Protein backbone atom coordinates (compact mmCIF):
# COMPACT_ATOMS: atom_id res chain seq x y z
CA UNK A 1 0.00 0.00 0.00
CA UNK A 2 2.99 2.31 -0.31
CA UNK A 3 3.48 2.12 -4.07
CA UNK A 4 2.03 5.51 -4.95
CA UNK A 5 -1.30 4.19 -6.21
CA UNK A 6 -4.63 5.63 -5.11
CA UNK A 7 -5.77 2.38 -3.50
CA UNK A 8 -6.44 2.48 0.23
CA UNK A 9 -5.91 -0.08 2.96
CA UNK A 10 -8.67 -1.17 5.33
CA UNK A 11 -6.54 -0.70 8.45
CA UNK A 12 -3.31 0.80 9.69
CA UNK A 13 -1.89 -2.68 10.17
CA UNK A 14 -2.55 -3.46 6.53
CA UNK A 15 -1.08 -0.12 5.47
CA UNK A 16 2.07 -0.77 7.48
CA UNK A 17 2.47 -4.46 6.70
CA UNK A 18 6.14 -5.28 6.65
CA UNK A 19 7.13 -2.42 8.96
CA UNK A 20 10.22 -3.22 11.00
CA UNK A 21 10.01 -0.18 13.29
CA UNK A 22 7.28 2.17 14.56
CA UNK A 23 7.92 5.13 16.83
CA UNK A 24 5.54 7.93 17.91
CA UNK A 25 6.61 11.47 17.07
CA UNK A 26 5.16 14.81 18.09
CA UNK A 27 3.64 17.32 15.68
CA UNK A 28 6.47 19.53 14.54
CA UNK A 29 4.55 22.81 14.44
CA UNK A 30 3.21 22.56 18.00
CA UNK A 31 -0.22 23.76 16.88
CA UNK A 32 -1.90 20.44 16.15
CA UNK A 33 -3.41 17.55 18.06
CA UNK A 34 -2.62 15.14 15.23
CA UNK A 35 -0.69 11.94 15.99
CA UNK A 36 2.38 11.12 13.91
CA UNK A 37 4.52 7.99 13.77
CA UNK A 38 7.88 7.33 12.17
CA UNK A 39 8.10 3.89 10.56
CA UNK A 40 10.58 1.85 8.56
CA UNK A 41 9.37 -0.38 5.71
CA UNK A 42 11.75 -2.22 3.43
CA UNK A 43 14.63 -0.25 4.90
CA UNK A 44 13.02 3.08 3.89
CA UNK A 45 11.83 5.73 6.35
CA UNK A 46 8.21 6.89 6.30
CA UNK A 47 5.94 9.08 8.42
CA UNK A 48 2.36 8.09 9.27
CA UNK A 49 -0.15 10.85 9.98
CA UNK A 50 -3.33 9.79 11.80
CA UNK A 51 -6.32 11.97 10.89
CA UNK A 52 -9.75 12.33 12.50
CA UNK A 53 -11.82 15.40 13.36
CA UNK A 54 -11.92 14.22 17.00
CA UNK A 55 -8.19 14.88 17.18
CA UNK A 56 -7.75 17.84 14.84
CA UNK A 57 -9.19 21.29 15.52
CA UNK A 58 -8.46 22.38 11.95
CA UNK A 59 -10.65 19.56 10.64
CA UNK A 60 -13.38 20.56 13.10
CA UNK A 61 -13.36 24.25 12.27
CA UNK A 62 -13.29 23.59 8.52
CA UNK A 63 -16.17 21.11 8.76
CA UNK A 64 -14.14 18.12 7.58
CA UNK A 65 -15.84 14.85 8.48
CA UNK A 66 -14.80 13.19 5.21
CA UNK A 67 -11.02 13.47 5.70
CA UNK A 68 -10.06 15.67 2.76
CA UNK A 69 -6.42 14.49 2.63
CA UNK A 70 -7.81 11.00 2.02
CA UNK A 71 -10.19 12.36 -0.62
CA UNK A 72 -7.46 14.00 -2.66
CA UNK A 73 -5.42 10.79 -2.46
CA UNK A 74 -8.29 8.49 -3.44
CA UNK A 75 -9.45 10.76 -6.25
CA UNK A 76 -6.10 10.67 -8.01
CA UNK A 77 -5.82 14.45 -7.74
CA UNK A 78 -2.34 14.22 -6.27
CA UNK A 79 -1.19 12.32 -9.34
CA UNK A 80 -2.31 15.24 -11.51
CA UNK A 81 -0.13 17.83 -9.77
CA UNK A 82 2.56 19.45 -11.93
CA UNK A 83 5.96 17.73 -11.79
CA UNK A 84 7.44 20.56 -9.69
CA UNK A 85 5.25 19.60 -6.69
CA UNK A 86 6.13 16.68 -4.41
CA UNK A 87 3.24 15.75 -2.08
CA UNK A 88 5.19 12.82 -0.52
CA UNK A 89 2.04 10.70 0.04
CA UNK A 90 2.47 7.05 -0.94
CA UNK A 91 -0.43 5.27 0.76
CA UNK A 92 -3.48 5.56 2.99
CA UNK A 93 -5.79 3.58 5.25
CA UNK A 94 -9.46 4.56 5.29
CA UNK A 95 -12.48 4.34 7.54
CA UNK A 96 -10.76 4.71 10.92
CA UNK A 97 -12.02 6.02 14.25
CA UNK A 98 -15.50 7.12 15.28
CA UNK A 99 -18.06 6.80 12.45
CA UNK A 100 -15.23 5.70 10.16
CA UNK A 101 -14.39 9.35 9.46
CA UNK A 102 -10.66 9.01 9.98
CA UNK A 103 -7.69 7.90 7.93
CA UNK A 104 -3.97 7.35 8.14
CA UNK A 105 -1.62 8.72 5.50
CA UNK A 106 1.72 7.13 4.75
CA UNK A 107 4.32 9.59 3.50
CA UNK A 108 7.97 9.40 2.61
CA UNK A 109 10.05 10.91 5.40
CA UNK A 110 11.11 14.21 3.84
CA UNK A 111 11.91 15.95 7.13
CA UNK A 112 15.53 16.69 6.26
CA UNK A 113 14.43 18.82 3.30
CA UNK A 114 11.66 20.83 4.98
CA UNK A 115 12.03 24.51 5.84
CA UNK A 116 13.69 24.69 9.28
CA UNK A 117 11.55 25.88 12.18
CA UNK A 118 11.99 29.43 13.46
CA UNK A 119 11.65 32.94 12.09
CA UNK A 120 14.77 33.21 9.95
CA UNK A 121 14.00 34.61 6.49
CA UNK A 122 13.70 32.07 3.73
CA UNK A 123 16.54 32.08 1.21
CA UNK A 124 15.41 34.34 -1.61
CA UNK A 125 15.95 31.65 -4.26
CA UNK A 126 13.82 29.15 -2.34
CA UNK A 127 11.06 31.69 -1.65
CA UNK A 128 10.88 32.64 -5.34
CA UNK A 129 10.79 28.96 -6.26
CA UNK A 130 7.84 28.46 -3.90
CA UNK A 131 5.97 31.29 -5.61
CA UNK A 132 6.86 29.98 -9.05
CA UNK A 133 5.67 26.47 -8.21
CA UNK A 134 2.52 27.83 -6.58
CA UNK A 135 1.79 29.57 -9.88
CA UNK A 136 2.52 26.35 -11.78
CA UNK A 137 0.03 24.48 -9.62
CA UNK A 138 -2.65 27.11 -10.15
CA UNK A 139 -2.02 27.29 -13.90
CA UNK A 140 -2.21 23.50 -14.23
CA UNK A 141 -5.71 23.51 -12.71
CA UNK A 142 -6.95 26.81 -14.13
CA UNK A 143 -10.74 26.86 -14.18
CA UNK A 144 -10.89 23.58 -12.24
CA UNK A 145 -14.28 22.59 -10.84
CA UNK A 146 -14.55 20.61 -7.61
CA UNK A 147 -16.46 17.40 -8.29
CA UNK A 148 -14.91 15.67 -5.27
CA UNK A 149 -16.47 17.65 -2.43
CA UNK A 150 -13.42 19.35 -0.93
CA UNK A 151 -13.22 22.54 1.16
CA UNK A 152 -16.07 24.96 0.35
CA UNK A 153 -14.57 28.34 -0.46
CA UNK A 154 -16.67 30.14 2.18
CA UNK A 155 -15.14 27.97 4.91
CA UNK A 156 -11.81 29.72 4.39
CA UNK A 157 -13.30 32.89 5.88
CA UNK A 158 -15.37 31.23 8.60
CA UNK A 159 -12.56 29.40 10.37
CA UNK A 160 -11.45 32.15 12.75
CA UNK A 161 -14.81 33.50 13.87
CA UNK A 162 -16.01 33.60 17.50
CA UNK A 163 -17.43 30.09 17.23
CA UNK A 164 -13.91 28.64 17.05
CA UNK A 165 -13.05 29.52 20.64
CA UNK A 166 -16.56 28.76 21.86
CA UNK A 167 -16.57 25.29 20.30
CA UNK A 168 -13.08 24.32 21.38
CA UNK A 169 -13.73 25.53 24.93
CA UNK A 170 -16.93 23.49 25.09
CA UNK A 171 -14.99 20.42 23.93
CA UNK A 172 -12.29 20.96 26.52
CA UNK A 173 -9.63 21.32 23.85
CA UNK A 174 -6.23 22.47 25.08
CA UNK A 175 -4.97 23.65 21.69
CA UNK A 176 -3.38 27.11 21.89
CA UNK A 177 -4.56 28.74 18.66
CA UNK A 178 -8.31 29.07 19.45
CA UNK A 179 -7.50 30.94 22.68
CA UNK A 180 -5.13 33.25 20.83
CA UNK A 181 -7.83 33.94 18.23
CA UNK A 182 -10.20 35.24 20.90
CA UNK A 183 -7.48 37.38 22.47
CA UNK A 184 -6.33 38.77 19.12
CA UNK A 185 -9.78 39.79 17.89
CA UNK A 186 -10.42 41.52 21.22
CA UNK A 187 -7.32 43.62 20.58
CA UNK A 188 -7.98 44.26 16.88
CA UNK A 189 -10.12 47.40 17.36
CA UNK A 190 -7.22 49.14 19.05
CA UNK A 191 -4.55 47.69 16.80
CA UNK A 192 -6.20 48.55 13.44
CA UNK A 193 -8.94 51.11 14.17
CA UNK A 194 -9.44 52.29 10.58
CA UNK A 195 -10.23 48.84 9.18
CA UNK A 196 -11.61 47.20 12.31
CA UNK A 197 -15.29 47.86 11.66
CA UNK A 198 -15.33 46.25 8.22
CA UNK A 199 -12.88 43.44 9.01
CA UNK A 200 -14.62 42.37 12.22
CA UNK A 201 -17.97 42.47 10.45
CA UNK A 202 -16.59 40.15 7.77
CA UNK A 203 -15.17 37.78 10.37
CA UNK A 204 -18.72 36.97 11.47
CA UNK A 205 -20.46 37.47 8.12
CA UNK A 206 -18.02 37.08 5.22
CA UNK A 207 -20.64 36.65 2.51
CA UNK A 208 -19.98 39.89 0.62
CA UNK A 209 -16.28 39.05 0.46
CA UNK A 210 -16.92 35.46 -0.59
CA UNK A 211 -19.35 36.48 -3.34
CA UNK A 212 -17.01 39.15 -4.68
CA UNK A 213 -14.07 36.74 -4.82
CA UNK A 214 -16.10 33.94 -6.37
CA UNK A 215 -16.87 36.25 -9.28
CA UNK A 216 -13.15 36.15 -10.22
CA UNK A 217 -11.10 33.34 -11.84
CA UNK A 218 -10.26 30.28 -9.76
CA UNK A 219 -8.18 27.12 -9.64
CA UNK A 220 -7.30 24.30 -7.28
CA UNK A 221 -5.92 25.62 -3.98
CA UNK A 222 -3.76 23.61 -1.62
CA UNK A 223 -5.04 25.80 1.21
CA UNK A 224 -2.05 26.17 3.53
CA UNK A 225 1.26 27.24 1.99
CA UNK A 226 2.87 27.88 5.38
CA UNK A 227 6.60 27.36 5.85
CA UNK A 228 5.98 24.33 8.08
CA UNK A 229 4.38 22.52 5.14
CA UNK A 230 7.10 23.39 2.64
CA UNK A 231 10.51 22.24 1.61
CA UNK A 232 12.80 21.77 -1.34
CA UNK A 233 13.81 18.25 -2.32
CA UNK A 234 17.22 17.29 -3.68
CA UNK A 235 15.65 17.25 -7.15
CA UNK A 236 14.57 20.90 -6.81
CA UNK A 237 10.86 20.13 -6.51
CA UNK A 238 8.78 21.91 -3.90
CA UNK A 239 7.64 19.60 -1.13
CA UNK A 240 4.04 20.55 -0.31
CA UNK A 241 2.59 18.67 2.66
CA UNK A 242 -0.68 18.67 4.63
CA UNK A 243 -3.55 18.66 2.13
CA UNK A 244 -6.07 19.42 4.89
CA UNK A 245 -7.73 22.41 3.17
CA UNK A 246 -7.75 21.71 -0.58
CA UNK A 247 -10.51 23.08 -2.76
CA UNK A 248 -11.52 25.46 -5.50
CA UNK A 249 -10.87 29.18 -5.09
CA UNK A 250 -9.33 32.38 -6.47
CA UNK A 251 -5.57 32.02 -6.73
CA UNK A 252 -4.68 35.36 -5.13
CA UNK A 253 -6.27 34.11 -1.90
CA UNK A 254 -3.60 31.39 -1.74
CA UNK A 255 -0.90 33.98 -2.36
CA UNK A 256 -2.36 36.28 0.32
CA UNK A 257 -2.44 33.40 2.83
CA UNK A 258 1.22 32.64 2.04
CA UNK A 259 2.19 36.27 2.61
CA UNK A 260 0.22 36.64 5.83
CA UNK A 261 1.17 33.40 7.54
CA UNK A 262 4.85 33.57 6.52
CA UNK A 263 5.26 37.32 7.04
CA UNK A 264 8.21 37.02 9.41
CA UNK A 265 10.08 34.77 7.00
CA UNK A 266 9.77 36.68 3.73
CA UNK A 267 13.17 37.78 2.38
CA UNK A 268 11.84 40.85 0.55
CA UNK A 269 8.83 43.22 0.65
CA UNK A 270 5.31 41.98 0.04
CA UNK A 271 5.10 43.93 -3.20
CA UNK A 272 8.09 42.08 -4.62
CA UNK A 273 6.57 38.72 -3.73
CA UNK A 274 3.24 39.67 -5.30
CA UNK A 275 4.98 40.80 -8.49
CA UNK A 276 7.05 37.59 -8.62
CA UNK A 277 3.97 35.39 -8.32
CA UNK A 278 2.12 37.35 -10.99
CA UNK A 279 5.09 37.10 -13.38
CA UNK A 280 5.22 33.36 -12.84
CA UNK A 281 1.48 32.98 -13.42
CA UNK A 282 1.70 34.97 -16.64
CA UNK A 283 4.76 32.91 -17.59
CA UNK A 284 2.49 29.87 -17.35
CA UNK A 285 0.23 31.41 -20.00
CA UNK A 286 -2.45 32.93 -17.70
CA UNK A 287 -3.66 36.39 -18.76
CA UNK A 288 -4.11 38.47 -15.58
CA UNK A 289 -4.85 41.85 -17.11
CA UNK A 290 -8.62 42.02 -16.60
CA UNK A 291 -9.03 40.58 -13.10
CA UNK A 292 -5.79 40.73 -11.15
CA UNK A 293 -6.13 44.02 -9.26
CA UNK A 294 -9.67 43.26 -8.14
CA UNK A 295 -8.92 39.71 -7.01
CA UNK A 296 -5.70 40.74 -5.28
CA UNK A 297 -7.39 43.63 -3.44
CA UNK A 298 -10.15 41.36 -2.17
CA UNK A 299 -7.68 38.58 -1.28
CA UNK A 300 -5.50 40.89 0.81
CA UNK A 301 -8.59 42.14 2.62
CA UNK A 302 -9.55 38.50 3.12
CA UNK A 303 -6.16 37.67 4.59
CA UNK A 304 -6.79 40.20 7.35
CA UNK A 305 -10.21 38.61 7.94
CA UNK A 306 -8.34 35.33 8.40
CA UNK A 307 -5.28 36.56 10.29
CA UNK A 308 -6.14 39.94 11.77
CA UNK A 309 -6.16 38.32 15.21
CA UNK A 310 -2.60 37.14 14.67
CA UNK A 311 -1.45 40.52 13.35
CA UNK A 312 -2.98 42.28 16.37
CA UNK A 313 -0.97 40.04 18.71
CA UNK A 314 2.34 39.51 16.96
CA UNK A 315 2.91 41.81 13.98
CA UNK A 316 5.17 44.83 14.05
CA UNK A 317 3.49 48.21 13.79
CA UNK A 318 4.74 48.63 10.21
CA UNK A 319 3.52 45.21 9.15
CA UNK A 320 0.07 45.72 10.66
CA UNK A 321 -0.14 49.16 9.03
CA UNK A 322 0.61 47.59 5.64
CA UNK A 323 -2.17 45.03 6.04
CA UNK A 324 -4.62 47.63 7.31
CA UNK A 325 -3.92 49.81 4.28
CA UNK A 326 -4.43 46.88 1.92
CA UNK A 327 -7.71 46.05 3.64
CA UNK A 328 -8.94 49.62 3.19
CA UNK A 329 -8.05 49.41 -0.50
CA UNK A 330 -9.80 46.06 -0.86
CA UNK A 331 -13.05 47.31 0.66
CA UNK A 332 -13.86 49.24 -2.51
CA UNK A 333 -14.23 45.96 -4.42
CA UNK A 334 -16.99 44.63 -2.16
Torsion angle, CA of 117/120/126/131, rounded to 10 degrees? 90
**Is 12-109's fold the same as 124-333's?**
no
Distance, in Å, from the CA atom of 333 to the CA atom of 77, rounded to the nearest integer, reads 33
Q: pLDDT tens for the chain, 334 residues: list them.
A: 333 446 799 899 999 998 999 999 865 554 657 889 999 999 999 999 999 888 889 999 998 988 999 999 999 999 999 999 999 999 999 988 887 788 999 999 999 999 999 999 999 999 999 999 999 999 999 999 999 999 999 999 999 999 999 999 999 988 899 999 999 999 999 999 999 999 999 999 999 999 999 999 999 999 999 999 999 999 999 999 999 999 999 999 999 999 999 999 999 999 999 999 999 999 999 999 999 999 999 999 999 999 999 999 999 999 999 999 999 999 999 9
Burial of residue 298, with CB atoms counted within 10 A of its CB: 0-12 exposed, 13-18 middle, 19 or more buried: buried
Domain boundaries, the chain: 12-109, 124-333
Asked if residues 228 and 28 have their Cβ atoms less than 8 Å apart, the reply is yes
The pLDDT score that the predictor gives to residue 29 is 53
Distance, in Å, from the CA atom of 164 to the CA atom of 178, rounded to the nearest integer, reads 6
* Three-state secondary structure readout of 193-262: HHHHHHHHHHHHCCHHHHHHHHCCCCEEECCCCCHHHEEECCCCCEEECCCCCCEEECHHHHHHHHHHHC
CATH of domain 124-333: 3.90.1200
Sign of CA dihedral 315, 321, 326, 330: positive
Asked if residues 106 and 87 have their Cβ atoms less than 8 Å apart, the reply is no
Topology adopted by domain 12-109: Phosphorylase Kinase; domain 1 (3.30.200)
Among 122, 160, 173, 155, residue whose Cα is nearest residue 244: 155
Among 143, 15, 140, 129, residue whose Cα is nearest residue 73: 15
Provide the CA 121 distance to its chain's centre, in angstroms.
Answer: 19
Sign of CA dihedral 20, 23, 29, 35: positive
Distance, in Å, from the CA atom of 136 to the CA atom of 161, rounded to the nearest integer, reads 32
* Three-state secondary structure readout of the chain: CCCCCCCCECCHHHHCCCEEEEEEECCCCCCCCCEEEEEEECCEEEEEEEECHHHCHHHHHCCCCCCHHHHHHHHCHHHHCCCCEECCEEEEEEEECHHHCEEEEEEECCHHHECCCCCCCCCHHHHHHHHHHHHHHHHHCCCCCCCCCCCCHHHHHCCCCHHHHHHHHHHCCCCHHHHHHHHHHHHHHHHCHHHHHHHHHHHHCCHHHHHHHHCCCCEEECCCCCHHHEEECCCCCEEECCCCCCEEECHHHHHHHHHHHCHHHCCCCHHHHHHHHHHHHHHCCCCCCCCHHHHHHHHHHHHHHHHHHHHHHHCCHHHHHHHHHHHHHHHHHC
To 10 degrees, what angle do helices 251-261 and 124-140 make?
Answer: 160
Amino acid sequence: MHSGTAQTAASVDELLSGATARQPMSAVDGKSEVLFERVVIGGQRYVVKHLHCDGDWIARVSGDVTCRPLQVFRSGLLDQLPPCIDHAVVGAAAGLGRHGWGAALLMRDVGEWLVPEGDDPLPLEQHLRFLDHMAALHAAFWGWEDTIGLTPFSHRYLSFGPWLTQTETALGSMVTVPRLVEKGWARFHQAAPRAAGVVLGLVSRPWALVEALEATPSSLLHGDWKAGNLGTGPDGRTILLDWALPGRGPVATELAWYLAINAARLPHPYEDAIAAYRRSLEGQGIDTERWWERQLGLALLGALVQFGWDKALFATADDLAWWEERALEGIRYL
